[in-house]
Amino acid sequence: MALKGKVALVTGSTSGIGLGIARALAAAGADVMLNGFGDAAAIEALRAGLAAEFSVRVLYDGADLSKPDQVAGIVAKTEAQLGRLDILVNNAGIQFVAPVDEFPEAKWEAIIAINLSAVFYGMKYAIPGMKARKWGRIINIASAHGLVASPNKVAYVAAKHGVVGATKVAAIEVANDGITVNAICPGWVLTPLVQKQLDDRAKENGTDVETEKKKLLEEKQPMLKFSTPEHLGAMVVFLASDAAETITGTPLSMDGGWVAQ
């Protein structure tokens, strides 16, 4: 319970990577504000389940992070209802693939809004309270695509490179305020969404899931192993701990060697 008494806000935390991070923070003793889209009854069951399992306070806010006023609102709600905001995890993200010259303008705007601008606004509104308390941890979930590119992902790659840059700037600015700012850059993560894609590919190609896993991984990663939401959760807990108090402004790769090549 190394984070007992701390309060965390995790965006995009009703499923996948964000949920894995929220669970890890709750398990470490932090109170958690969840955020994301989904069925209201399912989200309430998730919220209540986390609170009961880990004996922490868990709240939910469905803020639309593409709207700056709603980002400001969820930070304010966290501080008002949970008493403070110590750990901000900017995780929410969306994706779309197409060549640059065919990329829909609306998709560009949406991806930049959710994957990059929401990170800026989250930091902007969270930092004043962290400065006042002389303690804060901001962890931005970037991507291997924050460091290298792949075709047909212009908006995602641009946004994630922007997240890495914004992380460095913020880290420098608050370096002596008791606040660290870091980015985690995952490669392939085995979320329920990716698992479904693997299942579909196996069915379509007449193969099995293990074959499709290997094919997907070896396109990019020397290590033929997925990261998991639990891996990312453990990294977030470490970055929020006292052991990581001098790690700041750093993009931390969890990518099976993807960007080492």
Mean pLDDT, residues 86-112: 98
Q: Which pLDDT score is estimated for 1? A: 76
The pLDDT of residue 62 is 98
Give the pLDDT band of residue 243 (cuts 50, 70, 90). very high
Q: Does residue 60 carry a catalytic annotation?
A: no
Cα-to-chain-centroid distance, residue 43 = 18
**In what side-by-side order are the strands of the sheet with 251-254?**
58-61, 31-35, 7-10, 87-90, 136-141, 179-186, 251-254
**Residue range 185-213: average pLDDT?**
96
Measured CA to CA, the distance from residue 156 to residue 243 in angstroms comes to 32
Q: What is the pLDDT of residue 138?
A: 99
| Superfamily classification of domain 7-187+227-253 | NAD(P)-binding Rossmann-like Domain (3.40.50.720)
Specify the domain boundaries for CATH 3.40.50.720 within the chain: 7-187+227-253
> Which member of 60, 121, 125, 156 is catalytic?
156
- List helix spans (H) across the chain: 16-27, 40-54, 68-82, 105-112, 118-133, 154-173, 192-205, 209-218, 229-240
The model's pTM is 0.97
